[in-house]
Amino acid sequence: MQFQDRVEPKLRQREGSLGHISDWAGKVVGATARIAGLLHLAEHLENGHTVPVSQETMRGAIELGEYFTSHGLAAFDAMGADQTSDRATSLLETLRAHGWGEFSKRDLMLKVSRSEFPTADALDPALGLLEDHGYVRALPVQRTGGRGRPPSPRYLTHPRLSTPTH
């Protein structure tokens, strides 16, 4: 519980050190508890289900959880997760504001900041993150068979984004 109490404030979006990776970091306490269970069972092969998990085992699991968190932070920061996450949040706000059930990349480009998204390709990482989290779903590309520019990719939004809340 003390480990959870230490991690929880770090998950805050604005001031928390793990806020930009809260989807991942929000699972670290549960994962640490499972690691403690596995360490415990490895130590007590025959009767692990009848013996309480020791403080020493829990401390070891927490040490591993903190280790994985520091490496997770480094990996996400190296991948630019913070910028991608911020941009995905910006797209999410745009989608909510317009209430689209379906939209094209071209539609989105007309509504977003050019300083944040200078090209249509700049939308891809943020759209990918939104798709990974179920906010949008890419539709199959419809080829017209004609010459010229292919149609802009289209997306469906999650119904909660296009339904006004009361």
Distances (CA, A) of 62 to 1, 21, 69, 77: 11, 19, 10, 22
pLDDT in tens, 43-77: 999 999 999 999 999 999 999 999 999 988 888 77
Distances (CA, A) of 91 to 21, 40, 160: 17, 44, 15
CA 111 to chain centre: 23
For residues 73 and 125, the answer to whether their CB atoms sit within 8 Å is no
Strand partners, 136: 157
Higher pLDDT, 155 or 79: 155
pLDDT in tens, 122-135: 999 999 889 988 99
Instruction: Enter the pTM of the model.
Output: 0.50
Question: How far apart (Å, rounded) are the C-alpha atoms in residues 82 and 140?
Answer: 29
Q: What domains are defined for the chain?
A: 2-79 (no CATH), 82-162 (1.10.10.10)
Q: Give the pair of three-digit tokens for residue 149.
A: 């520019």
Residue 83: the pLDDT is: 79
Question: How far apart (Å, rounded) are the C-alpha atoms in residues 115 and 125?
Answer: 16
